[in-house]
Each structure stands twice: as C-alpha cells, then as structure tokens.
Amino acid sequence: MAKKFVEVEKIKEFVNRTNRESTCGPDQRDGWNSLLECILHGTGNYKGYNLLTSEEVPLGQAPGVCSSGKEMRRFNRGEKVDETRRKYY
C-alpha cells in the first residue's frame, strides 16, 4: 500500500475556512480545531491563533470575541461568544 501525504497548510486552510464560514455547531468545529492543533504541534508548526470577530463569521452566528463596545453590551446581556471561531497561524 502506497503512503499518501497531505500538506499541513492545506489542512490549516480547511479548518480556518470552516471556522470562519460554517454554521454547524461548535462541537464539530472543536473537533476540527483539536485535530489541527495535534497536527500542528506534532509537526512543529503551531504558531497560535486569534479568535474571529463578528465581521468574520456568518451573520447571526456567535463570534469568537467581542470586537466593539456595542458588541460587548450585547454579550453582557447573556449572549454567548463561541471560542471555536478561530484563525490559526
């Protein structure tokens, strides 16, 4: 059986796109994030991540971080942020 290789950068691009564009639940994104972090640490390519703002996620979806005072007031009223909304470097 022949070995096949996948570029780490392509996996990272896929996970970043999923975190940015998907409307699936946070559990699915958490799984992708965990897999990517395992790959990045295992290959010595982990460089951290930033949480995505509301401008970077689909309309109506929770962002990873509040980026403005207006947003902060919204989330102080009980709305949640979604820490699976990440961009890996």
DSSP-assigned letters across all residues of 2-67 = ------HHHHHHHHHHHHHH--S-HHHHHHHHHHHHHHHHHTT----EEEPPGGGS-TTSPPSS--
pLDDT below 50 — which residues of the chain? none
> What pLDDT score does 55 carry?
87
Task: Supply the pLDDT for residue 75.
Answer: 55
Phi, psi of 63 (to 5 degrees): -80, 170
| Predicted pLDDT at 70 | 58
Q: Which residues pair with 49 in a beta bridge?
A: 88
45 and 38 Cβ atoms separated by less than 8 Å: no
Containing 74, the helix (H) or strand (E) segment is helix 69-76
CA–CA separation, 53 and 14 (whole Å) = 19
